[in-house]
Amino acid sequence: MAPPRFALIDRDGTIIQERHYLADPAEVELLPGAAPGLRKLRQLGFGLLIVTNQSGLARGYFDRPRLDRIHARMADLLAVEGVAVDGIYVCPHLPDANCACRKPRPGLVHQAVAEHGFDPAQAIVVGDKPCDVDLGHAINAMSFLVRTGYGKDFELSTAAHVVVDDLPAVAAYLGGSRLAAHT
């Protein structure tokens, strides 16, 4: 049996609306098309893992229980749309902390691999910032830059394998069997 394949997906600006250091669960709002895109990725056989930098923890803008409520709210909104994620991996450190887990470093992916048993090079990485694209390169995975969130700002300056409008476009690309060209 082949190992499972996973989509490693950024949270803010990719699945939910970008909010400057989102600290209020009531402000969690799915991006248009996010749930259908995730649902289609699941139908294509991908597990769904969220990989997110959350320096607001280290900055004191919110604490871990508040972050857990934010993620519970996001999970509830996705569940209404028939989507469940397999895990959420969070880097709580400041950008200059030199930790192993802040994207684009692969520490969060290593945690996910230990828990889910997949080959990171067979994953896809999806996000709206260069750190997401660079994470894909760090683990030798196919990277997608979405134009949601901050994606439009980085469209011309990243080395993403594929640039698309949003999560449904990622699923459409992969559903068109273009993935075989990368692997």
Q: Which residues are catalytic?
A: 10, 12
CB atoms within 10 A of CB 107: 16
Domain region containing 82: 5-181
Instruction: Decide: 14 and 167 in contact? Cβ < 8 Å.
Output: yes
CA–CA separation, 43 and 46 (whole Å) = 7
CA–CA separation, 146 and 14 (whole Å) = 7
- CATH code assigned at 130: 3.40.50.1000
pTM of the model as a whole = 0.94
CA–CA separation, 132 and 31 (whole Å) = 18
CB atoms within 10 A of CB 29: 15
Instruction: Decide: 146 and 170 in contact? Cβ < 8 Å.
Output: yes
pLDDT tens, N- to C-terminus, the chain (183 residues): 667 899 999 999 999 999 999 999 999 999 999 999 999 999 999 999 999 999 999 999 999 999 999 999 999 999 999 999 999 999 999 999 999 999 999 999 999 999 999 999 999 999 999 999 999 999 999 999 999 999 999 988 989 999 999 999 999 999 985 544 443
Task: State how many domains the chain has.
Answer: 1
